[in-house]
Amino acid sequence: MKKILILVSVAAWITGLVNAQEVSLRYKLNPGTAFTSETNVHTTMVQKVMGINQEITMDMTMALIGKVTGEKDHIYSIKYRYTKLKITTTSSTYTVSIDTDGPDSPQNNMLKVLTGKSFTVYMDNRGRINDIEGLEKIFAGVDSLSDMDEETRQQYKSSLEETFSKDFFLQNFEQSSVLYPENPVKIGQSWRYNLSTTSSDVSLNLQNTATLKDVSGKMILVRVASLIDTPANDTINIGGNSGRISMTGHQISEVRINRSNGLITESNVSQKITGKLVITNLPETDEDMEIPMTMSSRINVTLTITR
């Protein structure tokens, strides 16, 4: 019995030492480090239009290759290129799938032009994205599409540049990562940071609370709880009509981090958002139309170091 008590005491003492250990979370990347990354997103949106519920699901896969090309003053330059994009949208009346690995078609080719072109992301050692260069190379691929006329090509190019703007990439690279704390933290300690993202005129604010949950061998586990809302009085354009959108929600992220270099090797995110869209002054009636909606998403990101 005395031996058991000693073993329990030793185990508790070791556990206490581990929990008291401070960890400095930083990216520590070497030029030449290469990796592959794949993101899978499943989103279900339910909206009520004129009293009828409409459900739309979207499944998206994005695969990237990345390589660290340099470092100066704790700012890393990382060259990325997309290798695969697939988007499948399903409703009660249709299913549309666009796939860069699919056969040549006007729809697939519109995505294929986005793959194979490199762009460079500049990130500091805490995960803050400072700049992105080379996005024009991606959009320039639209000019090679031969299965659409010049006017359609320019409209598609303008739409891509608006939807996938530089700010969109900056915000989404940060959102898919974790902003590391300024100071070392112990297991159980938390830090806060705010992010914002914009896509297709819709802006979202995220108030994040990250907590160091575990340090085990070569891996670090961080949990991020996020509150989501839209800016007050935010307006958007919907098919030429003006609208207001108000949304609130929450997001939980479980993030596994390589302890030696700070790279996130796996991230699992669950998100739920509710709100409403109000289309103002409809031409036919000069009245407003209110569309309640809910949106839930599951996001999985995996990263594999290849060099």
Does the pLDDT of residue 15 top 50, yes or no? no
pTM summary value: 0.85
Residue 15 lies in a domain: no
What pLDDT score was predicted for residue 73?
93
Give the separation between CA 248 and CA 205, rounded to whole angstroms: 9
- 4 within some domain: no
Residue 124 lies in a domain: yes
**Digit-coded pLDDT (tens) for 211-260:** 999 999 899 999 999 999 988 767 777 766 777 888 999 999 999 999 99
Please say whether the beta carbons of 193 and 217 come within 8 A.
no
For the domain that residue 245 is a member of, what is the CATH number? 2.30.230.10
Phi, psi of 24 (to 5 degrees): -95, 105
Domain membership flag for residue 249: yes
Host domain of residue 228: 23-305
Share of the chain above pLDDT 70, in %: 89
Mention every residue, 6+ apart, whose C-beta is less than 8 A from residue 205: 194, 195, 196, 228, 229, 230, 231
Instruction: Look at residue 246 and tell me if it is in a domain.
Output: yes
Could you give the CA distance from residue 170 to residue 121 in angstroms, rounded to a whole number? 8
Residue 40 in any domain: the answer is: yes
In a domain, 2, yes or no: no
The pLDDT of residue 9: 43
* Within a domain: 12: no
Overall domain count for the chain? 1
pLDDT digits (tens, 9 = 90+) for 81-123: 999 999 999 998 999 999 999 998 888 888 888 899 999 999 9
